[in-house]
Amino acid sequence: MNPRTAILSYALGTGHRRVAELVQGGLTSLGHDCEHRPLEEWVPWEYDALFRSGYLLLALRFPKVWDYMYNSPFFTRRGKLALPGMGGRVIRRFAREGLSECDLVVATQYNAMEVAADWKRASGSRLKLAVVITDYDVYPLWARPEVDLYLIPHPDLVAVLTNLGVAEERIAPTGIPVSPVFEGIHDGLAVRASLGLDLAKPTALIFGGGIGAGPLREAVEAFLGLGEWQALVVCGLNEKLRRSLRLTAQKHSDRLRVLGFRSDMALLMAASDVVVTKGGGLSLSEALYMGKRVVALPSLPGQERANIAFLAARGWISVCEDPRQMGRILDVPPADSPVSLPPAPLEAAVGRLDALARSSF
């Protein structure tokens, strides 16, 4: 009998969705009847407006407010995010969508976990619930007794979850699932040549996640001010940024390439000597698995700054609070600290999820 599995993500950025799609593909290859059901496609409109639109508004336009809310004990005292009436509507929609009939539900984002956990508690359902934490930070609200398995980015986070009351046997430090292409070997010089870049010059890849957030223009200008460097900038969905860089790209046609949304980030990383990005957990992990030197730009408050703090404390990345100081940061040799991330994180995660699903038969 093949397990029926649903992967739940929520579009508060592209990382959660990409991880969900990777996990879906892995479980499907093991025989699961597996579908990816993003929350934004089926939750009530007011829920989506509050959490998705509200988060993006606060994080991008009012980051200090979001930082206060992320660190405020108000939500941890309540034990959840959703308001009572709103939460009830969402779990009824969860059942109406047929998700309650699954053998396994996997959540790659907090709201997705909360909806499934609320349904499981209210109904007494025996479905298995797993979460894939895609940041190097464990927000206290992740700790729910309804969760059967936590897949976490690094062994050092086990103690954080156990201190929140989660039994250690429910925790697996598999690493953030990244596509195996980021653990492969690529011909970076061939990629450089295909982009018309100088094979001999040091190359920086600059991007701010799928939404193209962060001081990317300032980072581009910093590298153009370093005469020996050339740069690739991936604007993602930020068309305003892409348009604003057109004249700069024309002026520096031999040293700058401005790109839109890309699905070949592994190849672009292979072509680069340094990856300059914001604090998304998946993007940082992908670059580290590629063996690249990473420089983190000023990032969104909350989980992104926590990611940077975790990785910088271990000497795995450099932090650039002001892009104008990029040259000084690049002049400092990277710390001689071997990156100890779990190997083959996607394979490990999929294996643990498959075992959990089949244990319910």
- The residues spanned by each domain of the chain are 4-175+343-358, 180-331
pLDDT band, residue 69 (cuts 50/70/90): confident
Per DSSP, the three-state class of 146 is coil
Average pLDDT, the chain: 92
Identical topology for domains 4-175+343-358 and 180-331: yes
The Cα 93–Cα 67 span in angstroms is: 31
pLDDT band, residue 361 (cuts 50/70/90): low
User: Do 357 and 3 contact (CB within 8 A), yes or no?
Assistant: yes
Highest mean pLDDT among 48-52, 84-88, 303-307: 303-307
Q: What sign for the dihedral angle of Cα 264, 270, 274, 280?
A: positive
pLDDT above 90 (res 231): yes
User: Do 118 and 149 contact (CB within 8 A), yes or no?
Assistant: no
pLDDT above 90 (res 302): no
Fold of 4-175+343-358: Rossmann fold (3.40.50)
User: Do 341 and 161 contact (CB within 8 A), yes or no?
Assistant: no
The Cα 137–Cα 23 span in angstroms is: 20
pLDDT band, residue 178 (cuts 50/70/90): very high
What is each CA distance from 232 to 14, 220, 238, 271, 328, in whole angstroms? 20, 9, 15, 9, 20
Per DSSP, the three-state class of 110 is helix
The Cα 302–Cα 139 span in angstroms is: 9
Find the Cα–Cα–Cα–Cα dihedral 67, 49, 297, 274, rounded to 10°. Answer: 150
pLDDT above 70 (res 227): yes
pLDDT above 90 (res 110): yes
Residue 285's CB is within 10 A of a number of other CB atoms, namely 28
Fold of 180-331: Rossmann fold (3.40.50)
Sheet of 4-8, strands arranged across: 33-36, 4-8, 104-107, 128-132, 149-151, 171-172
pLDDT of residue 54: 82
The Cα 123–Cα 91 span in angstroms is: 10
pLDDT, one tens digit per residue, over 14-42 is: 889 999 999 999 999 999 999 999 999 99
pLDDT band, residue 62 (cuts 50/70/90): confident
Q: What is the mean pLDDT of residues 317-346?
A: 91
Cβ burial 134-152 (10 Å sphere, 16+ → b, else e)? bbbbbbebbbbebbbbbbb
pLDDT of residue 332: 86
Identify the CA nearest to 298 among candidates 319, 282, 272, 271: 319
- Strand pairing partners for 294? 275
pLDDT, one tens digit per residue, over 119-169 is: 999 999 999 999 999 999 999 999 999 999 999 999 999 999 999 999 999
